[in-house]
Structures are given as structure tokens and as C-alpha cells.
Amino acid sequence: MKIEVVKDILDANEEWAKENRRFFDGAKLISINIMASPGAGKTSLIMGTLESIGSCAAVIEGDIASTIDAEKIGTLGVPVVQINTGGACHLDAAMIKKALERLDLKGLKYLFIENVGNLICPAEFNLGEHVRVIVASVPEGDDKPFKYPGIFSTAQAVVLNKWDTLSYFDFDFERFKRGIYSVNPEVPVFRVSCKTKEGLGDWIDWLKGLTY
């Protein structure tokens, strides 16, 4: 019988998260936990960002199953590790610790951690990251911050992807922002299209402005 003591699990996760954070700080590596619905464009955002900032980053890819995303990232020649959670709905700090042992991070500036596609469970698990970024997308609709307030409340930045498809969908950007600001009033919201590259500059400037 599998017994989970939820508080103990979260406490243990916090311990691993602290250890990861010490590692990131020691290595002067800015770590970014990227969370989103399935298909919002997490991998596309990471790829678009890597193409712009060059080879100063590594990537940890989290998925229930498959190595599709790690293979895509691998084409860019940056260090990448795929974590398959085997059913678990989020990454946790212990998974990240293990993945870090498999990455050569010397001299790098950024670590992107792509979480499992899920707007709920990943928010509960601190990975030790410096910043959390939520990727949303126009086709998902402008009501997502109202329906998933928890995850939006924890973000240091929100990236709204697929902005190029705006004319195709019934999406009110002001309503979307209202939903976010109701739980996270100061957070920057970037409109981008990873397909056309529109708007990626502002996001990358923000990223470059991150310091310890």
C-alpha cells in the first residue's frame, strides 16, 4: 500500500529545493521554471529564446512520457536532459537534483526547466528556481487566469504566446490581464509569437535583466 503524507512530501521537497537553489547560486546559474497548459508553447518559447541568447543555457525537459521535446531542443546543440515523470503530474525538486547531475553546466548563465503541461499541480512544487514563468496562449482563451488563479499568482512573468493568431480567436487581452492582475498585480505580461518571433525581444530583454 502506497502511503503519502502530503505535508512530509512538501517538506521534503522544500529541502531538495533549498539544495538546488544553493547549487544554482554557487554556479551563478539563473534558473527559470516554465509552466503552462499542454501545447501553450513552452518548448517553442525556450527554442526561440535560445536562438536569440546563444549557447549560454541548458534545458531540463519534463514530461509524463516521450522524449519529443528534448529531441527538439537537442537540435540547437545546448545541454538538455529529459525527465519522464512516468505519470506524475508535475516536476519536483528531487527530480531536478538528479537531472542536474547529468548536465555539464560550466560557464552557462541560464537553466530553463520545462515543467509538465499542467496549470494546477506544478504550482505546489518549489524546484529551487529563481523565477517562475507562466506561458499562456491566445487559443486557450482569455479566461484562464480566472479559472487557474493559483498558478498565475506565483509567476514572476507571464508570456502570452500565439499572439499572431489573435484575429482567429475571441480573445480579449484586457480581460486576460485583469484576471492576472487580480491575483498578481505587478507581474509583467509579454505578448509574443514564437512562430513569427514577434514580441520575443521584450521577453528576452527582461530575461537579460535578471540578476541575483
156 binds a second copy (CB under 8 A): no
Q: Could you say which residues in the range 164-193 bind a second copy, by CB under 8 A?
A: 165, 168
Q: Which of residues 39-58 bind a second copy (CB under 8 A)?
A: 39
Binding a second copy (rule: CB under 8 A), the pick from 18, 22, 147, 178 is 147
Alpha helices per DSSP H over 27-172? 42-53, 68-74, 93-100, 144-147, 149-153
How many Å from the N-terminal Cα to the C-terminal Cα in the chain?
A: 44
Q: Which of 15, 18, 51, 66 binds a second copy (CB under 8 A)?
A: 66
Q: Are 97 and 19 in contact (CB under 8 A)?
A: yes
Of 26-34, 96-104, 113-121, 204-212, the window that binds a second copy (rule: CB under 8 A) is 113-121
Q: How many CA atoms lie within 13 A of 147 on its CB side?
A: 9
CB nearer a second copy, residue 132 or residue 144: 144
Report the C-alpha gap between 190 and 201 in whole angstroms.
10
Listed in sequence order, the residues at least 6 apart from 176 whose beta carbon sits closer than 8 Å to its beta carbon are 136, 142, 144, 145, 160, 189
* CA 135 – CA 180 distance, rounded (Å): 12
With contacts defined by CB under 8 A, name the span among 46-54, 135-143, 185-193, 199-207 that binds a second copy. 135-143
| Residue from 12, 53, 76, 89 in contact with a second copy (CB under 8 A) | 89
Contacting range for a second copy; rule: CB under 8 A; set: 12-20, 49-57, 138-146, 197-205: 138-146
Which positions touch a second copy (CB under 8 A)? 1-7, 37-39, 63-66, 68, 87, 89, 116-121, 137, 139-141, 143-144, 146-150, 162, 165, 168
